Amino acid sequence: MKSRWAEHGGKNILYVDLSGFGENVREFDVELTEAVATIGQKMYEQPLNSVLVLVDLRNTHMTQTSNHLLTERIKDTKKYVRRTAVVGLTGIRKMFLDYFSMLATSETGSFEEPESAIKWLLQTI
């Protein structure tokens, strides 16, 4: 599993690493499901509206199936999330960000690299 909790600037960030899957929805689903079942459980122990999330989608093509999988996870966890930074949704793919942002009901930003995403996540803390 690539996803993990990581500490930056004294704060924990849930780093959901869904990068590098191309169009392989099966492996995408395995990573997302395993992340939710293991490290994602810590989210439910956090205060509401407190979790910082970084989702890395570089080199992963958003298909209807992968979009559906993410949508289900967002609906389940949105009340815990304070901010979400999404890496890799650039150009035309950025349209997915508007959709995720609407679902999440929390502040959501788009970034090209994880470093700038982390910096943005920590700005309001």
Give dist(CA 63, CA 81) in Å, integer: 24
Side by side, the strands of the sheet bearing 81-87 are 4-8, 11-17, 51-56, 81-87, 107-111
Cβ(21)–Cβ(58) below 8 Å: no
Torsion of CA 35, 97, 49, 105, to 10 degrees: -130
Domains delineated in the chain? 4-123 (3.40.50)
Q: What percent of the chain has pLDDT above 90?
A: 52
Work out the pLDDT band at 8, boundaries 50, 70, 90.
very high
On the question of pLDDT at 81 being above 70, the answer is: yes
Query: Which range among 39-43, 45-49, 63-67 shows the weakest confidence by mean pLDDT?
Result: 63-67
